[in-house]
Amino acid sequence: MATSVEVKTVGNWISGRVEASTSGRHGIVWDPATGAEQARVAFSNRTEVDLTVAVAKRAFAEWRSVPLSRRAEVMFKLRELIDANRRTIAGMITAEHGKTVPDAMGEVARGLENIEFACGIPNLLKGGFSEQASRGIDVYQIRQPLGVVAGITPFNFPAMVPMWMFANAIACGNAFILKPSEKDPSVSLYLAELIQKAGLPDGVFNVIQGDKEAVDRLLDHPDVKAISFVGSTPVAKAIYETGTRNGKRVQALGGAKNHMLLLPDADVAMAADAAVSAAYGSAGERCMAISVAVAVGDVADPLVAAIRERMAKIKVGPGTDDSNEMGPLITREHRDKVASYVANAATEGATVAVDGRGAIRRDGFFLEPSLLDNVAMGMRCYKDEIFGPVLCVMRVKTYEEALRIINENPFGNGVAIFTRDGGAAR
Ligand code: NAD
């Protein structure tokens, strides 16, 4: 006889407690390592967003006048609590995102740096004063909180990116609403508990789970004064346009295509180590992942050989097993999309040096690392952000040609150069 197992639904955090959504809509939270449904996540509606904003607005009225030293005290306490619970937070990240536990521990460490920064808020919020800015006129500059502000965050850093946003927003005296990624939402509620334990008054930090409907309401709600977004470029653009049209301050960080540039004098072993860890760490689902290696002159052949040698040793498997170095991708759809770039590469004229699609047959959303050689600018695998364990190699004749390619790419975020020539590096 089949037995039904109750699946938990990840709810909201409003005014200091978990609130179940009544919207009737939800998303599925997968276990990427097994491919099984492990939870559901509420998709909040406009009314629930309105209620959360009202709660945050009331809490803001008090919180903005709490002394800086007291706000800093909350941040110091939160720092201790996160530090003491690194393993728990990392475990929650691994369970829903799939990255390995050491990688998740790294995420927590990076997130913690933002809480530490916010501990210095009494100093950071100092204003300025200019005497005689005009004849007989002195000018004061003071920093004040805006009110209710919201953060909309991506799946790939479910703890760190929220920490980028809420630590400073709260320390500055704002009330904050987090709309986490619906793919790995649970850690947001655990962070909310720690924030409460740190002594933050209820209502100053809230979590609203959801999809486009909740985001759209945050974007047009008159009491939300600023939006911080991190995610893919098309969504970043839409959020920036709508938010600013509605008179809000918006910062929207989008997708990436990071290049590494190798000059003929590069230390190939060192560059290959860096390429393998930056391209395949966290299954390539990092905004700072290296996805293109641009090799100048003769360095390409030894580089490809050294990368292939290292790739063969990468152990792919569930992130919960400490012997694994790379976990699964976030969803089946995303894994299949990433695999399609490898499948199409040869038709576009690239060489599939290593094909990682063998792991597709396993349970879970796994894909082994892939290496595409002889990639050119017009190819889809070069033009799109793949956001998976696929590294493209481009072969060029000169440094100038490499620079032109990198500068013409419409994506950020970063570029690395490998050379023994200090002048070229500078
Ligand atoms: P995403 O754009 O799909 O989702 C980000 C957030 O927006 C989520 O909370 C999601 O629920 C919400 N969202 C999705 N579609 C929406 C829509 N149509 N309208 C309103 N809200 C919507 O991004 P993702 O897949 O979760 O994250 C991966 C992306 O984030 C990659 O492109 C990566 O490069 C980028 N990223 C960038 C940085 C950076 O610093 N630039 C950092 C981390 C991740």
Closest residue CA from atom 28 of ligand 1: 231
Buried b (16+ CB within 10 A) or exposed e, 271-302: bbebbbebbbbbbbbbbebbbbbbbbeebbeb
In ligand 1, the atom with minimum distance to the C-alpha of 254 is 41
pLDDT at 412: 78
Centre of ligand 1 from the C-alpha of residue 35, in Å: 22
CA of 235, closest atom in ligand 1: 2
Q: What are 378-405's pLDDT values in tens digits?
A: 999 999 999 999 999 999 999 999 999 9
Quote the ligand 1 centre to 403 CA distance (angstroms).
Answer: 28
**How remote is the CA of residue 120 from the centroid of ligand 1, in Å?**
29
The 8-class DSSP code of residue 358 comes to G
- Evaluate if residue 135 carries a pLDDT over 90: yes
> Which ligand 1 atom is the nearest neighbour of the CA of 231?
30
**Of 152, 161, 232, 239, best ligand 1 pocket probe by most atoms within 8 Å of the beta carbon:** 232
In which band, very low, low, confident or very high, does the pLDDT at 2 lie, cut at 50, 70 and 90?
A: very low
Q: How far is the CA of 230 from the centre of ligand 1 (A)?
A: 6
Residues 389 and 330 sit within 8 Å (Cβ to Cβ): no
Residues 192-210 pLDDT 10s: 999 999 999 999 999 999 9
Task: State what percent of residues in the chain have pLDDT above 70.
Answer: 99
pLDDT band at 5 (very low <50, low <70, confident <90, very high): low
CA distance 372 to 347: 12
Is residue 287 annotated as part of the catalytic site, yes or no? yes
The reported pLDDT for the residue numbered 413 is 85
Q: Ligand 1 atom closest to Cα of 387?
A: 31
Average pLDDT, the chain: 96
pLDDT of residue 6: 77
Within 6 Å (CB) of ligand 1, which residues are found?
Answer: 152-157, 161, 179, 181-182, 211-212, 215, 230-232, 235, 253-256, 287, 385, 387, 413
Which residue's alpha carbon is at the smallest distance from atom 17 of ligand 1? Answer: 212
pLDDT at site 222: 98
Q: What is the pLDDT of residues 83-132, one digit of tens each?
A: 999 999 999 999 999 999 999 999 999 999 999 999 999 999 999 999 99
Q: Give the chain's radius of gyration (CA, Å).
A: 23
Taking the C-alpha atoms of residue 417 and residue 426, their distance in angstroms, rounded to an integer, is 9
Model's pTM, two decimal places? Answer: 0.96
User: For residue 141, is pLDDT > 90?
Assistant: yes
Give the mean pLDDT of 280-297: 97
pLDDT number for residue 4: 58
Q: How far is the CA of 397 from the centre of ligand 1 (A)?
A: 36
State which of 107, 110, 155, 224 you would mutate to test the pocket of ligand 1, scoring each by most atoms of that ligand within 8 A of its C-beta: 155
- The answer to whether residue 1 scores a pLDDT higher than 70 is no
Question: Exposed/middle/buried for 130, CB within 10 Å: 0-12, 13-18, 19+?
Answer: exposed
- Residue 359 has a pLDDT of 74
- Kindly tell me if the per-residue pLDDT of 361 is higher than 90: no
Span 340-348, mean pLDDT?
96
Residue 267, pLDDT above cutoff 70? yes
172, 287, 381, 392: the active-site residue: 287
Q: Does pLDDT of 362 surpass 90?
A: no
Cα 226 from chain centroid?
19
